[in-house]
Amino acid sequence: MKLTLIEAFRALFYAPFYATEALGAYAAEGLDVKMITPESSAHTIRMLAEGAGQVSWGGPMRLMLALHQNPASDAVGFCEVVGRDPFFLIGRTPRPQFRLADLVGPRVAVVSEVPTPWVTLRRDLQLAGIDPAQVALAPDRTMAQNVAALRAGEVDVIQLFQPDVQTLLAEGVGHLWYRAAERGLACYTTFNTTRAFIREHPEAVLAVTRAMYRTQKWIAAHPGSDLAAVVAPYLPDVPRATLIACCDEYKASGVWSTSPVVQRVGLEWKRDAMHAAGAIGIAHPYEAYIDPQFAQRAVAEDPPSI
């Protein structure tokens, strides 16, 4: 079956999605997948509704926002790929005994391109008993601009993801303050579709899930160097040594899920963070956002690694 897959945006922490294509896992499950990239990741759910693609990937916060904005939304997630937060806090000076309370005082630059990184960090602060309003946030800039601002000493700590983290650490320009993955499960990225497509093509949704599960098994069984070799064509601007180090780091910190099942505790943590931030008005139950049947079936069938 032919499928159009909507990519959220190009990022290293999405490596499992690229590996699934590169390793031939879709083809092994009888799928002919064409990947397209929208102008903005904010458009992925709308594109599903409009029929521009049948499956997308992105943060479940997109599902939550869609249901908040339109109670009739039938967008739904069905397979977890990134189960933990892939972002970091990198400081200009070392902070080996970092605590979240240390963010009160310094000049902090958070991600502005997408909302989830600040939503989740904001929730961390609240759970630590810290009012997010106490944090002195720098004006909104891109992550690349924030890297430049850190180098120039204009900010004290920045929020960003790989490979910029590895580059700053390797150069000694930045210092690791906080690895957000250490908070635990936070359901960061899922495969999404519409309930209408599920009703019409359940076997296609299962095939996508099986393809990812077979890739997840492959990633778990191979070192970062192997994964880097597979996804390098998708990330041509990242030096190979840096790419390997990033893949090793993300594997070690458990950022990438090893099962397609969307973990309830992670999804509910993300939902509560969105609700606490005022991004959604109602904290709907897990089943309002996720259809777990395909991941559960894939795990039960236990297909071999690709």
Question: Could you tell me the domains of the chain?
Answer: 2-84+185-301 (3.40.190.10), 88-180 (3.40.190.10)
Please report the pLDDT score of residue 102 as a whole number.
98
Percentage with pLDDT > 70 across the chain: 100
Q: What is the pLDDT of residues 255-300, one digit of tens each?
A: 999 999 999 999 999 999 999 999 999 999 999 999 999 999 999 9
Distance CA 267, CA 187 (A): 5
Mean pLDDT taken over the chain: 97
Please report the pLDDT score of residue 93 as a whole number.
97
Please report the pLDDT score of residue 39 as a whole number.
85
Residue 122 clears pLDDT 90, i.e. is over it: yes
Cβ(178)–Cβ(128) below 8 Å: no
Q: What is the pLDDT of residues 21-67, one digit of tens each?
A: 999 999 999 999 999 999 888 899 999 999 999 999 999 999 999 99
Residue 156 clears pLDDT 90, i.e. is over it: yes
Residue 120 clears pLDDT 90, i.e. is over it: yes
Q: What is the pLDDT of residues 188-242, one digit of tens each?
A: 999 999 999 999 999 999 999 999 999 999 999 999 999 999 999 999 999 999 9
Cβ(209)–Cβ(295) below 8 Å: yes
Distance CA 47, CA 126 (A): 34
Query: Which residues lie across from 139 on neighbouring strands?
Result: none
Cβ(90)–Cβ(158) below 8 Å: yes
Please report the pLDDT score of residue 4 as a whole number.
98
Cβ(21)–Cβ(169) below 8 Å: no
The residue count of the chain comes to 306
Distance CA 112, CA 109 (A): 9
Cβ(189)–Cβ(63) below 8 Å: no
